[in-house]
Structure 1
Amino acid sequence: MTDRTTGTTGPLTGVERFRALHHGRLPEDPLVLPGPWDAASARVLAEAGFPALATPSAGVAASLGYADGATPADEMFAAVARIARAVDVPVSADVEDGYGLAPKELVERLLETGAVGCNLEDSTGGVLKDPREHAAWLSEVRAAAGDRLFVNARIDTFLRGVGDPEAAVERAALYVAAGADCVYPIGAPVGVLPLLRSGVRGPMNVHALPGEGPSPAELGGLGATRITFGPGLQRRAERALREIAAGLTG
């Protein structure tokens, strides 16, 4: 039997399932991808019924005792592997700026973890990369991965103080042309989401805070194809544990 979304026959692979989740969605029904930081949290989220998960690098870093951005590559890949192994749903991995790895090695290490997708940033050390150079690097990642990985290209302009939405749209166009499956203008103000949506081809990832701000459905109506929470769930769980600990010591 042929799947209408992917054109494939037989059971879908993990990456095919993940890619299909990004297409044919109604505006009020974006794909919600919570972020597990370890195997236990991944199991909880999968058992809650989420069809896929997306690890947050900052949340994983906290679980391993590192500051955001300071996790050694080997430890990040090992953590992603434990998460992917713990659940039956597709897992996408935030691997920051790629840790300086050559595209082929990056792809091989991601596939070894069992991840079906990745989040790749276009800044390093707090500085935006040249968009054309980054697009060329993304093109190499796509060539090495073929159709085996779903690539989410994070756009850091808003994070790095560039508030002009057109700058994000221009980067998005370059990254999509390079083979990115989705773009992620992290930190974009809610008010500019419709403008970004009108200028971005293909799926668009939007960051949300769990339990705060617009709901996923509202963000979907503004243009989000998928919603992620960064380390929001891990930090909320940490706050809850602090409250429990305070009660025990009190």
Structure 2
Amino acid sequence: MKVLNFGSLNLDYVYDVDHFVREGETISSADMNVFCGGKGLNQSVALAKAGVKVYHAGAVGSADGAMLLEALSNVGADISYIKRYDMSSGHAIIQKNRAGNNCILLYGGANQNIGIDFIKEVLKDFDKGDILLLQNEVSNLSFIIDEGYKRGMSIVLNPSPINEKIFECDLEKVEYLILNEIEAADILGASDTGEDELIEKLTKIPGNEDSVDFGREGLCICGQDSEDKTGNIQD
């Protein structure tokens, strides 16, 4: 069994500021740091550190992607399925104020340049029983799901951020959904629904099991073929 993470790769530019920039205002930052991020990269790093052999597929910019590739290589993730494009890598401009709060401007960059031919090229090396890990930060997500499903892969999706692209996907082809309470309510169109009713609605989605993070209330694993299991996660 192989694990393929078709996921985002972002550079996070973090600026320490006294306050968030207002309309028409120019301010100076006290400090600036660059970090590797993106939901995809973070998941691959976590898997690799846990001892899982993970193959990361995605895209970076040819001029600014070296740091992202190095971050994955350093933890043992396979980067042979990452393409370089003559454009900027995905990145985030993050203002962090004195209180530790932040505001974020996100640019998809190379993450949004994942094409059909590239997807087919990657997936031909994976087969039935392999795991396909996805997030909603790369282009052609619905096609990746369809192609992975055709190959008999076990599909795991973190559908964040929730937007129109998620509703273009056939979620019945997803074996495991990993989401929080707000994302679950958004997918179901049930923003005013309580926890118990939300869990009941999720179990009616054919073909998948769901992991729902209710914050301090605990984690629920629910699905048509499993019992609900809820418990608090201790640090």
TM-score range, shorter chain: 0.3 to 0.5
> TM-score, normalising length from structure 1?
0.35
Question: Quick one: higher RCO (CA 8 Å, sep 6+), 1 or 2?
Answer: 1
Greater share of strand residues, 1 or 2?
Answer: 2
Normalized per residue, the structure richer in helix is 1
